[in-house]
Structure 1
Amino acid sequence: MSQATVTAVSSDSDHRFSKPNRDSIRLLAGLGVEGDAHLGVTVQHLSRVAQDPAQPNLRQVHLIHSELFDELGEAGYRVAPGDLGENVTTRGIDLLALPTGTRLHLGADAVVEVTGLRNPCLQIDRFRSGLLKHVVGRDTSTGEVVRKAGVMAVVLFPGTLRPGDPVTAEIPAPPHRPLERV
């Protein structure tokens, strides 16, 4: 089995849909990505701030598996790291299969705790027309909504991340709680 890795890191100080790739990003405990528009103890996503600005920021770091980009490419969509607004792009780890509370060790020092699934919105169709139906759908056997646009996490331990850094999952003790949208 190959080692899971960080393939790209991205951040943006403005609230734009896509984030430019960086040589490195710094994760700050309890806050998120240094210099990113979503940094903070309380929610920073504009739609959520409008609902309740005092709610905790469970979306400090957005992670997407690069295998999603491969899948989208097969469907005719060119999507690159940072395009969907993620901070950390990974390869070799099934982020969507992790239970809530999984701790991801990123690089030498950083640790984030997975809080839930990203809930993609219509902005994805503004980025690439028709893309939303490829990242949100229904399981044909159960009828359940399937969200593929990555996971959200909070920063437990700080650290600097770079492409090529290792990713290791620390699964919480059972019973496991499946990921839900946050």
Structure 2
Amino acid sequence: MGGTVTAVSSNGTYSFTKPNRETITLLDGLGVEGDVHAGVTVKHRFRMRKDPSQPNLRQVHLIHEELFEELRAAGFTVAPGQLGENVTTRGIDLLGLPTGALLRLGDEAVVEITGLRNPCAQIDGFQKGLLKQVAGRGEDGAAVVRSGVMSVVRAGGVVRPGDPVAIELPDGPHRPLRIV
């Protein structure tokens, strides 16, 4: 069970999109080196206003590249990094992973999935109508969020496009992902 890293992105300033890089370096317990969201405590502006001391469960944002193809079929053009993710993958059902799943990215780096990315209105600022494509309600009325997953770094290392991604599921009953 695994996939591939197709792109890596980071940005040292607050911006919705993140430029693609040749490599990114994950720092144990912090996030992406040089990225504005790296740190032990929360770095998301809205969450910092509420409580700046809360732990940063959003150190590394991952999105599956297959989402971009679905969005293209709906008339949107989205490329890696444009939704603010740090790591774009292919071949992994990121949204179907349980909380606590480990992803080994390349030879050294390991991230632990903490939950779903909470999509925000900035997505519509990027492309009008896009928010409804990545967030909504299922037939049963439950929230459906497709804007990627968030994680924390458990082991640092360099990550680059083409790196393999291996999945380790947690022991015991699996907890579904919730918005973090």
TM range (shorter): over 0.9
Match of residue 12 from structure 1: 11
Cα distance per residue 1:101-126 (max 9 Å; x no partner): 00000000000000000000000000
- Normalised by the length of structure 1, the TM-score is 0.98
Match of residue 73 from structure 1: 72
Match of residue 164 from structure 2: 166
Runs of 4 or more consecutive aligned structure 1 residues displaced over 3 Å after TM superposition: none
Match of residue 91 from structure 1: 90
AA matched with 2:156? P
AA matched with 2:49? A
Q: 1:8: Cα distance to partner?
A: 0.1
Unaligned runs of 5+ in 2: none
SS of residue in 1 equivalent to 2:8: strand
AA matched with 1:92? G
* Aligned pairs, number: 180
Measured in 1, the distance between the counterparts of 2:176 and 2:14 equals 29
Match of residue 43 from structure 2: 44
AA matched with 1:81? P
User: What is the aligned-residue identity percentage?
Assistant: 66
Q: CA RMSD in A?
A: 0.8
Give runs of aligned pairs for residues 1-182 of structure 1, distance below 5 A: 4-140=3-139, 142-182=140-180
Cα distance per residue 1:58-102 (max 9 Å; x no partner): 000000000000000000000000000000000000000000000
Measured in 2, the distance between the counterparts of 1:170 and 1:139 equals 28
- Normalised by the length of structure 2, the TM-score is 0.99
Q: 1:174: Cα distance to partner?
A: 2.2
